[in-house]
């Protein structure tokens, strides 16, 4: 189960643990919480760390309740999740 909407958490200050995803495409397709699933090669901007990211470099963290979060590739230094990724405009 992947959660993101309406939650605020601090990866650095919690018991959250990173989990390694073997098939990132499959995991993303099954757990992305919004209707339009971006391609793993797409570039987005994380509004938490103000970095341009490649979607497929995402990380997944699990909390003490077993809830999984798709996070910014810069986690745990950045606490952004998929809800914090915006389209890069030129």
Domain boundaries, the chain: 11-87
Q: What is the pLDDT of residue 5?
A: 45
Q: What are the tens digits of pLDDT across the range 2-48?
A: 444 444 556 655 688 999 999 999 999 999 999 999 999 999 999 99
Q: Over range 48-69, report the average pLDDT.
A: 95
Q: What is the pTM of this model?
A: 0.84
Confirm if 34 and 55 have CB atoms less than 8 A apart: no
Is residue 47 within 8 Å of residue 58, measured between CB atoms? no
Q: Is the peptide bond before 38 cis (omega within 30 degrees of 0)?
A: no
pLDDT recorded at residue 89: 82
């Amino acid at each position: 189960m992947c959660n993101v909407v309406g939650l605020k958490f601090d990866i650095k200050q919690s018991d959250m643990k990173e989990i390694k995803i073997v098939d990132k495409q499959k995991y993303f397709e099954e757990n992305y919480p919004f209707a339009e699933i971006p391609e793993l090669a797409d570039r987005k901007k994380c509004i938490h760390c103000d970095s341009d990211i490649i979607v497929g470099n995402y990380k997944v963290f699990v909390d003490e309740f077993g809830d999984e979060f798709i996070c910014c590739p810069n986690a745990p230094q950045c606490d952004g999740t998929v809800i914090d990724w915006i389209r890069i405009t030129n």
